[in-house]
């Protein structure tokens, strides 16, 4: 783990902070992991493939990416070819889009059943930024970002939400490209070098570094501190509470 500088690193010294959602603000990363496991376990079993889908597959091929990209990259890692399909495909379709839509159905079911609460440390950081008047945004590959924020009761805390739906509507490339972060900074009227990016996914950290943001914070929820550093994190913490003085 990369130590936080002393005195504590202050996110409120930046004009804006751009947060990933799943695994950074809310523990929905765990829900996504469960949903991906259900999806790919069933898919591999249906095809008679005995090599299981693992958490290592999630972090290497799926974590932080737009849903269809995650499906495509995992299938490529197993040398499985499926037609691309379209977003209108049913969840039973044997296509990249069909599998992605099936995963979303599984995720939505878990969210309805279990709900979600924000990490206490992340709420402390948001409180600190609110007092300082620092602009905040959520930048998430998930098309469920607003639903998750509403379920957690914190949607009103964020001035801007750039999620998978917004990215698709505006033709923005997903992480590890920096385009969604750039769009959030533009909406907030903040210069890139005056923005901090907070991410738990290797692809998200890479996007922050590629975007030349003033600070890139990695939150290690399982990707590994070394992997986040290698992707370009300036500092890695285990919980955002470590950034509160």
Residue 127: band (very low, low, confident or very high) from pLDDT cuts 50, 70, 90: very high
Residue 22 DSSP SS3: strand
Total domain count, the chain: 2
Task: List the structure tokens of 70.
Answer: 């995650």
Last residue of a domain, one of 114, 149, 166: 114
Last residue of a domain, one of 114, 138, 160: 114
DSSP classification of residue 26 = B
In a domain, 168, yes or no: yes
Q: Which strands form 215-219's sheet, in the order they lie side by side?
A: 160-162, 135-139, 16-19, 195-199, 215-219, 235-237
Residue 4 scores a pLDDT above 80: no
Same domain for 125 and 47 = no
Same domain for 34 and 138 = no
Per-residue model confidence (pLDDT) at position 97 = 96
Same domain for 37 and 89 = yes
Domain CATH for 168 = 3.40.50.1000
Same domain for 203 and 190 = yes
Same domain for 137 and 214 = yes
3-state helix, strand, coil in the chain (%, to 5): 50, 10, 40
Residue 180 scores a pLDDT above 70: yes
Domain of residue 42, residue span: 30-114
Over residues 197-219, mean pLDDT: 96
Same domain for 104 and 15 = no
Out of 22, 69, 200, 234, which one is annotated catalytic?
22
Active-site residue flag, 57:
no
Out of 15, 20, 69, 179, which one is annotated catalytic?
20
Per-residue model confidence (pLDDT) at position 222 = 86
Residue 8 scores a pLDDT above 80: no
Residue 141 DSSP SS3: coil
Same domain for 147 and 235 = yes
Distances in Å between the alpha carbon of 128 and those of 8, 13, 17? 13, 11, 12
What global pTM score does this model have? 0.77
In a domain, 152, yes or no: yes
In a domain, 3, yes or no: no
In a domain, 2, yes or no: no
In a domain, 4, yes or no: no
Last residue of a domain, one of 80, 114, 148: 114
Same domain for 110 and 41 = yes
Residue 14 scores a pLDDT above 60: yes
Measured CA angle at 126 (ends 191, 143), to 5 deg: 75
Taking only the tens place, the pLDDT of each residue in 92-125 is: 999 999 999 999 999 888 888 888 899 999 999 9
Higher pLDDT, 127 or 147: 127
Contact assessment for residue 46 and residue 75, using Cβ atoms and an 8 Å cutoff: no
Of 226, 198, 193, whose CA–CA distance to 18 is shortest? 198
Same domain for 220 and 125 = yes
Per-residue model confidence (pLDDT) at position 2 = 47
In a domain, 1, yes or no: no
Per-residue model confidence (pLDDT) at position 7 = 39
Same domain for 134 and 20 = yes
Same domain for 194 and 102 = no
Same domain for 73 and 121 = no
Per-residue model confidence (pLDDT) at position 6 = 38
């Amino acid at each position: 783990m990369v130590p936080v500088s002393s005195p504590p690193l202050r996110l409120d010294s930046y004009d804006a902070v751009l947060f990933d959602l799943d695994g950074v603000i809310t523990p929905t990363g765990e829900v996504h992991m469960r949903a991906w496991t259900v999806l790919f376990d069933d898919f591999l079993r249906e095809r008679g493939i005995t090599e299981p889908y693992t958490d290592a597959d999630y972090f290497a091929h799926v974590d932080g990416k737009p849903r269809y990209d995650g499906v495509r990259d995992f299938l490529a890692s197993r040398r499985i070819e499926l037609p691309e399909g379209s977003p209108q495909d049913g969840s039973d379709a044997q296509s990249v889009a069909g599998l992605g839509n099936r995963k979303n159905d599984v995720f939505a079911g878990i969210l309805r059943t279990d709900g979600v609460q924000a990490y206490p440390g992340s709420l402390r950081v948001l409180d600190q930024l609110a007092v300082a008047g620092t602009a905040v945004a959520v930048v998430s590959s998930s098309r469920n970002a607003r639903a998750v924020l509403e379920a957690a009761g914190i949607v009103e805390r964020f001035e801007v939400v750039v999620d998978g739906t917004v990215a698709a509507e505006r033709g923005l490339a997903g992480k590890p490209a920096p385009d969604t972060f750039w769009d959030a900074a533009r909406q907030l009227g903040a210069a890139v070098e005056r923005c901090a990016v907070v991410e738990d996914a290797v692809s998200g950290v890479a996007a922050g570094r590629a975007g030349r943001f003033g600070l890139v914070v990695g939150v290690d929820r399982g990707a590994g501190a070394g992997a986040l550093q290698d992707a370009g994190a300036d500092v890695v913490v285990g919980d955002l509470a470590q950034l509160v003085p």
